[in-house]
Structures are given as C-alpha cells and as structure tokens.
Amino acid sequence: MPLLHVEDLSKNFVIHALGRTIPAFQGVSFTLEAGSLLLIRGPNGAGKSSLLRCLYRTYLPERGQALFAAADGTIDLASAADVDIALLRRTEIGHVTQFLRPRPRVTALDLVAEPLLVAGHSLAEAREAAADWLGSLGLKAAIWQAYPSTFSGGEQQKINLARAMIAPRRLLLLDEPTSALDPDARAALCSRIKTLKAAGVAMIGVFHHPEDIAGLIDVEFHVA
Amino acid sequence: MNIEPVTPQPQPHQRRLLPPRLVRQAPLLELRGLSKRYGRIVAVQGVNLELYPGETVGIVGESGSGKSTVLRMLNLEEATDTGTYHLAVPGFTGQNLFALDRFHQRQLRIQQIGIVYQQPHMGLRMQATSGGNVAERLIMAGERRFATLRRAASDALASSEFPADRIDDPPAVLSGGMQQRVQLAKAIALRPALLLLDEPTTGLDVSIQALVLDTLLRLRRERQITTLIVSHDLGVIRTLADRVLVMRHGAVVECGLTDQILDDPQHPYTQQLVSARL
C-alpha cells in the first residue's frame, strides 16, 4: 500500500458574509510512495497551496479522502479526529510554510530546536541539530542568538525550513520552500531533500521554479 | 449572555469527523451537557468538551460568550444546573465531579486543578509573601514541614521563572507579569492533572506577555500538563493551543485544530470573529 492515496479531494471556501463560495480545487486524486517526491504544478491561484493545507488540515477538505498509512494504521486525513491530526503533526507529517511566524523573545536557534524539544530530546541535542541545519543552509552564526522578527525574507525562510524539517517525518509538505533562498542555500536544501528521500521520507512540493529541485522529482501532478 | 427565548444556534456547516483512532488514551477530562442560567440569563448551554492527556485546548469568544463561566465551573467554584464532569485522576475516576460533596470537591481542586486568573487578586493574597502564597497550596494539601514547604515553593517559583531574590516580596509590590508567575507557581506546585488559564496574559505589556507565553510553552513541554485556556486574544490562542472551541451566547458553535479555526473558519460567527482581528 502507498504512503498516501488521495481520492477525489475537493475544497471550496464558503464566505458567509459575502454569501459566496470560492472554489479552491476539485476532484484531486493521486498516489504517493515512500521516498518519492511529488511536484504539484499549476498556475497561480489554482489551489496548489490549498491542497497542501488540506492534507495538513489547516484547511478542512470538503469532499474526498486522503488515506495516509500512519505507523499505527491507515487513517483518512480528510476526516480524522482533530487529536489524531495533532498527533500526526507531532510525529509523522511536517509542513514547510512560506512564511515564518517568529515569536517575540525566542532566538532563531531555539525556534529551530523547538520541534525536537517537543519530541523529548534534550536542549543540548536539539540545539546541536538546529545549529547543524542552520549552518548547512548558510544562516550566519552571528545571528543564531538573535530574534528573527527583524530578519530578511531569505533568513526567515532558512529558519522556517530548518524548523519544519529538523524532526524526523514520514511525509513532508513543502510550500515554495526555495522562493527566497540564495543559490547556495538552494543547493544545501536539495542535498537535504536527497538524503531524506533516500531515508524513505515522502514529499509533496509546490515550487515556483521546479528547476531548483531538478533531478529529485519522481512524479508530477497538475492542478487546473 | 442571552435573554430568553433562546433561538437554537445553526449547526456548523462542517464535515463530520471520525472519533479518535490513533490517539488511544482516554480523555483526561470529559464534560457533557453543561448548562447554567442566572435567572432568565442563559450563561452556558449544552457545552461538551474532552481534553486528552497533555494537550492544550483554547476557548475563544467575545465577552459574555460564557467562556469564563465554563472555566469557573470546571474549577468547581460554582454550581451548575445540568451536566456531568469527569476527570481521570486517582480516587475520582468515574465520578461526576459536579455531584461530589464540598469536602471532596475541595480536595480534588487542591490536588488536581491549578488555575491562573486574569486578575491576580482573585488567585493570590496580595499582602502575603510570594513564597507564602505558593506554600499555602501545599499546606492545604497537608504539608507541615517548614523546610519542605520552602523548597517546594521555591521549586515551583523557579519553574515559572520567578526571580529567587523576590520570593519574600508580596504580590502587591510586584509587576503584573511577576504576579502572573506567582499565580502560575501556585497553580503547578502540586503538579495538578489540569491547568486552567483565564486570560492569563490579558492586560500585560506585549513584551511581558511574550515572556509569560514562553514560560507557559516551556512548562507544557516539560510537564505535559493538560491545559484549558480561555482568551479573547487570538494571537495567544495561536501560540498556545492545539485545538480551539468557539463560543457564542453560551454555546459552542465550532471546534477544530487551532490553525484550521483561524485560517479556515466554517461557522459564520467564527468567520466574523477571525476577520475582526487587527
């Protein structure tokens, strides 16, 4: 059985104040195997990010299924209980969003380390792994102890990426993770993605410039 | 608050979710059919709630939505009209806590429930020392040895990141942020199963609020304490809560994962509440 089997997944936004329904995407079906990277293609506004958010359940899918082969059994991400989704987010499914939500008075290093602390690692271990990630993405060590709210878009994206990918996951949802990165950081990210794929991590990505990850894409899916 | 007659709330246009399957633990807290009215005023109607071990759940809603009333009832401060309340803690499993006599309710509150109020004077003796305020909780639980009391109080204060050199200062002379840390230390001193937070950072400066939120996050991580937080501040809720219930006119109109409620609200009222954010 594949890691993820999406069947007829659809999403519309009902805006009650306007009395309107805004369509996001309709009837999406695909299959994803462990260790493979699926690229979602489509024009702006076709619902690529919305599809990722529906799989992470930031958005509530309207129709359809997304059967995920979790470690403890297959579960439909579109209709699983909220507490089950919360558990999967802590253990199996990661989401790399386009924008960082920095918290006041939390350093760059500690923001990245946090998912490992939640997973029960010691502070020293978590900070060491965080430093490794930030170092490889080329964030200068001088600002690791600073608060990221004032950082540039590229610096924030590096922190966001590291934070989302630091803890082991079986499925990663990547929403334009390279949009603000410099070439060196893009290369570093590609090599990380390659390592993760080899370890069996499945990924679904939206990339503005798919050539950034040329050679790593196993399958493509077009949303109209 | 709602004046009679109560019109039934429209059901959320939300797809029905399955019962938990991956989470195999039973809920720590189960509240069913909680209703309360003050004369003709309906404060809470038909509220159901489950908290699973270690999770943080938020309740949002505007003033008068009944969210703080629910919290006070869970702290057994007030009688309810209807409803059952179960906590899976030693000695009380399977019992409807609303039906306990006052002695057992008090015992349960001291041992298993910690609370932080928005107004420090509701939870603290403002003229007693900060250490004394925390120790009082332990004394109520039967501890009498001075050295043990002093050590347990300073441990709890340190966990809430309260400065050790101010342990003998009364809350009355402390800043708002420090007063909340004393309340938090008192709430967690006996390692309760349930932590109730009623607008814990409302009224604090934004920078102090950030520090208190950070302390709460760290405590949650280190002690995995099951927490219910009531706040009208959606930023606080986004930072702390795994799941959220939205209340209006005493009833729950929608519940979901925090990011889903804030980014893809389903109910008309939630959409209005979320878009009213600055």
Summarised one tens digit per residue, pLDDT across range B145-197 is 988 888 889 999 999 999 999 999 999 999 999 999 999 999 999 999 999 99
A14 forms beta bridges with A21
Please give the domain boundaries of chain B with CATH numbers for all domains.
26-120+196-275 (3.40.50.300)
Nearest by CB to A80, which of B18, B207, B242? B18
Give the residue from chain A lying closest to B242, CA to CA: A86
Query: Looking at residue B14, what is its pLDDT?
Result: 61
Give the residue from chain B lying closest to A80, CA to CA: B18
* Short-list A108, A205, A93, A192, CA closest to A147: A108
Query: Looking at residue B80, what is its pLDDT?
Result: 94
Nearest by CB to B272, which of A17, A59, A105? A17
Q: A-B interface: how many C-beta pairs under 8 angstroms?
A: 92
Show pLDDT as tens, one digit a residue, over chain A (224 residues). 899 999 999 999 999 999 999 999 999 999 999 999 999 999 988 999 999 999 999 999 999 999 999 999 999 999 999 999 999 999 999 999 888 888 888 899 999 999 999 888 999 999 999 999 999 999 999 999 999 989 999 999 999 999 999 999 999 999 998 888 999 999 999 999 999 999 999 999 999 888 889 899 999 999 97
CA distances (Å), origin B18, targets A75, A76, B30, B174, B184: 10, 9, 18, 48, 35
Q: Domain A1-92+204-224: give its CATH superfamily.
A: P-loop containing nucleotide triphosphate hydrolases (3.40.50.300)
Collapsing DSSP to helix, strand or coil, B150 comes out as helix
- Contact yes or no for B178/B166 (Cβ under 8 A): yes
CA distances (Å), origin A216, targets A17, A37, A82, B43: 44, 7, 33, 57
- Contact yes or no for B47/B252 (Cβ under 8 A): yes
Do you know the residue count of chain B? 278
Collapsing DSSP to helix, strand or coil, B246 comes out as strand
- Contact yes or no for A131/A143 (Cβ under 8 A): no
Per-residue buried b or exposed e for A181-220, using 16+ beta carbons within 10 Å of the residue's own CB: beeebbebbbebbeebbeeebbbbbbbeebebbeebbeee
pLDDT, tens digit, 9 for 90 and up, residues A133-191: 999 999 999 999 999 989 999 999 999 999 999 999 999 999 998 888 999 999 999 99
Query: Looking at residue B277, what is its pLDDT?
Result: 61
- Contact yes or no for B214/A105 (Cβ under 8 A): yes
Query: Looking at residue A102, what is its pLDDT?
Result: 85
Q: Sort out which chain A residues have CB atoms less than 8 A from B22's CB and list them.
A: 70, 72-73, 75, 80, 84, 87-88
For the segment B217-228, the average pLDDT, to the nearest whole number, is 91
B255 forms beta bridges with B245
Copy the structure tokens of residue A150: 């004032």
pLDDT exceeds 50 at position B240: yes
Q: Mutate which of B28, B264, B273, B275 to test chain A, going by most A C-beta atoms within 10 A?
A: B264
Query: Looking at residue A208, what is its pLDDT?
Result: 86
Instruction: Indicate if the alpha-carbon torsion angle B14, B18, B24, B30 is positive or negative.
Output: positive
Mean pLDDT is lowest, of A57-71, B9-23, B94-108, B144-158, for B9-23
CA–CA gap between residue A68 and residue A76 (Å, rounded): 6
Q: Mutate which of A18, A49, A82, A90 to test chain B, going by most B C-beta atoms within 10 A?
A: A82
Q: Sort out which chain B residues have CB atoms less than 8 A from A117's CB and list them.
A: 221
A202-206 and A37-41 as β-strands: parallel, antiparallel, unpaired? parallel
What global pTM score does this model have? 0.93
Q: Tell me which amino acid residue B48 is.
A: N
Q: Model ipTM?
A: 0.93
pLDDT exceeds 80 at position B17: yes
Nearest by CB to A58, which of B21, B52, B259? B259
pLDDT exceeds 70 at position B22: yes
Give the residue from chain A lying closest to B239, CA to CA: A103
If you average pLDDT over every residue of chain B, what do you get? 91
Copy the structure tokens of residue A17: 């104040």
Query: Looking at residue B278, what is its pLDDT?
Result: 52
Q: How far is the alpha carbon of A69 from chain B, nearest alpha carbon, in Å?
A: 11
Report the percent of chain B where pLDDT is more than 90.
Answer: 78
B226-230 and B56-60 as β-strands: parallel, antiparallel, unpaired? parallel
Q: How far is the alpha carbon of B101 from chain A, nearest alpha carbon, in Å?
A: 33
Asked if the C-beta of B272 comes within 8 angstroms of chain A's C-beta atoms, the answer is: yes
Q: How far is the alpha carbon of B184 from chain A, nearest alpha carbon, in Å?
A: 20
8 Å CB contact of A81 and B266: no
Beta sheet of A219-222, edge-to-edge order: A93-96, A171-175, A202-206, A37-41, A219-222
Give the residue from chain B lying closest to A11, CA to CA: B264
For the segment B41-62, the average pLDDT, to the nearest whole number, is 96
Asked if the C-beta of B16 comes within 8 angstroms of chain A's C-beta atoms, the answer is: yes
Domain extent listing, chain A = 1-92+204-224
Asked if the C-beta of B62 comes within 8 angstroms of chain A's C-beta atoms, the answer is: no
Q: Sort out which chain B residues have CB atoms less than 8 A from A65's CB and list them.
A: none
